[in-house]
Structure 1
Amino acid sequence: MKKQAALFAAAFFAGSLFTFATSVHSADTTGTVDYTSGGITFDPQVSGDPSASLPTNLNFGSHPIQTKQAESWTATSDGNQTSSVTTGQVAVSDNRGTVGTGWSVKVAQPEQFKAGQNVLSGAILSFTVGTLTNNLNALPTGDGIANNSTLGLVIGQTGSVITAQANEGAGETALPINKFSLNVPANTAKTAAQYQTTVVWTFSATPS
């Protein structure tokens, strides 16, 4: 009788273990994060870092008139050729979060340097760039300025600076400008006046 009771107790204990084991179940927890479009910005401003955006002025200095020799001037902080060189950056922040889109940046100089009706004939404004970068390994590959090269502006013509084709240019893209130069050929008539021109940077949210 004791033996039967022991067997019954053992069987009951084993059954309890089996019942406990089969009652185990799982549960899922879902994590969610929602991103909305951050838009696209051309020439974003970086507080305290003027070299991270396009300069608003190019000062090539004040120089006595001479017409025998060709001249080459560099834009600096105050026009003095020994002062700090004016630099800048062509930048696009593309956080639209869409695929299949692109964008472009172009540059033009509509008119020659002028002082009233007087034209600084033959003068060429150019800028030298560094290496194009993108923080998402989505470098633009369309028409644009080659790394570490110089682009001379042609009056009345538009030049491609950066072109992001479809599925390119997402994130932060930047092309540093290391120097702006003004070259004036010899035998150029000059007037004792301040000559000015305008450089127009054009951004399009499609790679036109």
Structure 2
Amino acid sequence: MITLLSDEKKKKIVVVFLLLLISNIFLLSSISYAQTSLIGIELFTNQVSTNNSNSTYQAPLIFDPISNKKNVDFKVTGQALTDVNILNGQKQVILVIPEELIGEVSPNGQAKIEVDVLLSEKAPVIGGLLGTISKLLKDILGILGLVLPISKQISALLDRLFNLGRLSYTADILNHGSYLLIDYETGLVSAIIHNLQGVVVELQNILKGLSGNILIGALIGPLTTAINNLSNALANPSAELLDSLANASILSNTEVVFPTTINKPQHDIYGDINGISKKDFHMHIVQTEVIELDVFKDSNSLSSIYLKALKQESYSDMALPTNLNFGKHTIQTLNNEEWIATSTGEQEDAPTTGKISLTDTTSGEKNWQIKVKQTSNWKNQQSALQNSILKLYGGELTYTGFEDTDINYPFTNTADYLEITDQNEKVLLELNTLDRRGSLQFDIKTFKLFIPKNLKKDEGVYQAQFIWTASNGP
């Protein structure tokens, strides 16, 4: 206690510290999709990914107890073909593997593809071959009429020249570690050629039956030549024909299935507060020359698998005193004063302390701030202690998991302190990291209150209000 006598009587000030603790943890729950960056490379509109793991948050994936493996099929579907004029590169299907499962996911056989295909007479190379046959078949139908059984067969084959229907084929899955990939194009072209060859054989058989028909005899020769030209072209396709089939086909309603085997991870994977980890697999049908994984990881064409993991924690603990007693002091105005908070207010007693800790084992980016703000001046009913300053002295910071570059801590030595004044907010600690997990803690080893000289003081109890926050967010 500091005691000064006035001419009249001893007047004492009792300074009371009111402390409000607010711990606000803002969890990053929203995902910002960069779908626009995929517009230029996605082959189909409305691409949707699913998988058959049957895992849910309530029932995470169960691995075989002997092999520690699980077979899972991933599927992507797409509807209408996008504007092919804006697409460049090779048609491919990609399955992006979550980072913590890289090396644990491998192909389990070939990919299975189903797609509806149309061809156009306007397409280069193939369009010319089909166009000649189409014209001659229509001339024959004009002669025979549309009601004869043979006419119906010809009409159906004419339609199948261009509307190939639903084609099915398989493709090898290439394992690139962080993603699996198939060549969508090569198998597609082979399936189209196989389908057209079947139509050619049926047309050739019909021509044999029509060879004796006098009415269409003049058309048989040119049609036979046109069909033979198509047959030869399909049997020994040129690079131009292959390119035409790959790029000029009109595709829709595609479904691609990647059979995979997932190994049970042998390294620690952290989950949420219940120990569940959600892993997102992004799957796309694209036409591109360069695979940029970051583009796919930001998209919303994904399916998820839930794994049992280590418990994930994200919380702060501010063990701060709810009252700071700076003691009773005789009023004087000639000198500056600085008082220490103790349990009794007696300045000779041990200082009151506080402890702040933070644990965050969540995956992904962390942006923690621990702050304190004075929201009212030191006041009693008559007056305020203008320009007073609360000084916070920080202790040693200890941490695990994080690195020096992740943390901004203002107390670098025992003499460092933060000055808190009315309506002023100070940051006691900042933690910013993209992916590290860990914990930290530090002490507030001393609370001091500075009162300037030449300050009018009235007898009474002075109080102030402070708000402490711990937040994790943008």
TM-score by shorter chain over 0.5: yes
Match of residue 354, structure 2, among 88, 93, 99? 88
Taking the aligned partners of 1:117 and 1:169, their CA distance within structure 2 comes to: 52
Q: What CA deviation, in whole Å up to 9, does each residue of 1:145-180 have, x standing for no partner?
A: 232310001321211111111237732211211100
Amino acid at match of 2:388: A
Instruction: Identify if the C-alpha distance between structure 1 residues 169 and 108 changes in structure 2 by more than 3 Å, giving closer, same or farther.
Output: farther
3-state SS of the aligned residue for 1:60? Answer: strand
How far did 1:123 drift? Answer: 0.9
Match of residue 447 from structure 2: 180
Tell me if structure 1 keeps the 8 A contact 2:324–2:342.
yes
**Residue number in structure 2 paired with 1:119:** 384
The answer to which structure has the higher strand fraction is 2
**In the alignment, structure 1 residue 35 sits paired with structure 2 residue 301:** no
| Contact 1:103/1:169, CA 8 A, preserved across alignment | no
1:134-153 matches, within 5 Å, as: 134-139=399-404, 141=406, 143-148=408-413, 149-153=416-420
Shift of 1:189: 1.1
Quick check: 1:139–1:173 contact (8 Å CA) kept in 2? no
Contact 2:402 2:439 in 1 (8 A): no
Of 167, 179, 196, the match for 2:434? 167
- Find the counterpart in structure 2 of residue 189 from structure 1: 456
Aligned amino acid, residue 355 of structure 2: Q
Separation in 2, partners of 1:167, 1:78:
45
Establish whether residue 70 from structure 1 lines up as the match of residue 344 from structure 2. Answer: no
Moved more, 135-144 or 193-202: 135-144
Q: 1:93 to 1:105 in 2, by over 3 A?
A: same
The normalised TM-score by structure 2 is 0.34
Higher helix share: 2
What is the alpha-carbon distance in structure 1 between the residues aligned to residue 443 and residue 315 of structure 2?
17
Change (3 A) 1:168 1:108: farther
Q: 1:181 to 1:169 in 2, by over 3 A?
A: farther
TM-score by length of 1: 0.73
Question: What root-mean-square deviation, in Å, do the aligned CA atoms of Structure 1 and Structure 2 show?
Answer: 2.4
* Cα distance in 2 between the residues matched to 1:126 and 1:140: 26
Q: Aligned AA for 1:165?
A: N
Following TM superposition, by how much is the alpha carbon of 1:143 offset from its aligned partner in structure 2, in angstroms? 4.6
The one of 193, 202, 206 equivalent to 2:469 is 202
Determine the C-alpha separation between the residues in 1 that align with 2:469 and 2:316: 9
Counterpart CA distance in 2 for 1:112 and 1:136 is: 40
Q: How much does 1:144 deviate?
A: 4.2
Query: What CA distance in whole angstroms lies between the structure 1 residues aligned with 2:467 and 2:360?
Result: 21
Q: Distance in 2 between matches of 1:168 and 1:159?
A: 26
- Return the alpha-carbon distance in structure 1 between the equivalents of residues 435 and 456 of structure 2: 47
Q: Which residue of 2 aligns with 1:5?
A: none
Shift of 1:140: 6.5
Q: 2 CA distance for matches of 1:113 and 1:137?
A: 38
Residues 140, 168 of structure 1: 8 Å contact kept: no
Change (3 A) 1:113 1:78: same
Cα deviation, 1:89-126, whole Å, max 9, x if unaligned, reads 2221223x212223111111112111124101121111
In 1, Cα distance between equivalents of 2:424 and 2:356: 19
Does the C-alpha gap of structure 1 residues 152 and 74 become closer, same or farther in structure 2, counting only changes over 3 Å?
same
- Residue 19 of structure 1 is matched in structure 2 by none
Deviations 1:40-61 (A, max 9, x none): 22226xxxxxxxx222111100
State percent identity of aligned pairs.
Answer: 29
Structure 2 gaps of 5+ residues are 1-65, 69-263, 269-307
Question: 1:92–1:169: structure 2 CA closer, same or farther, 3 Å change rule?
Answer: farther
